[in-house]
Structure 1
Amino acid sequence: MASANTQMANETKRADIARQLFDAYSAMSCCFLSEQLIQEAMLPGLRCLRQDMAVIASEHEEVVSSMIRDYETKLDMSRPDRSGSVTSGSAEDMRARVMSRIKDTNISNIFTRKK
């Protein structure tokens, strides 16, 4: 959906979908996600969303970039050849970092349906 949204011609609809995707990705960043899901779905989607945010809502672009970096770090830390072992608190650390970066973002309407 994020990939298709970057190609959308209708700028109003593109902006609306990008904001909703931002809310969804922000909420998902607090959940445990498998390495495969991060690599195959989250990172590609976040990279597309970052492109949209650069144009539509630049104030959120750094938050998206931060989520990408955190997921990439998580993947790097989980590989034994790079870190030697997986730290048990890494998911909680990532969650805390992401939440601190989005605390100024209004995500109170994540679970409300647009009319």
Structure 2
Amino acid sequence: MKQPKIYTMPFANVYPLYIQKVEKKGRTKAEVDEIIFWLTGYDEVSLQQVLDQATDFATFFAQAPAMNPNTSLITGMICGYRVEEIEDKLMQQIRYLDKLIDELAKGKAMEKILRK
């Protein structure tokens, strides 16, 4: 079975789109970064390395320092799928990030986005 194209796409290609999406709605790059840090355990330095090295999505998530244990609290629809029901772990992680970015763009409070 052919793997989805997103797996081999550099994270650096999509990252600016996340920022662009939220900035249109009055949110910030810092908030996008906070979501990424919360979800994956990356920090400012390690995220910049990922961007500089054009790390693909599969590697980005495989090498994530510490996926947040509260990811199971992320629920809802994204791209026509319920994120909690996606069986492919990597696709689920990608959709978790998409879902959190969507929530940010829709104006949800950071405390709720980060499941606090």
TM-score w.r.t. the length of structure 1 is 0.31
Decide which structure has the larger Cα Rg and report it: 1
Higher relative contact order (CA closer than 8 Å, sequence separation 6+): 2
TM-score w.r.t. the length of structure 2 is 0.31
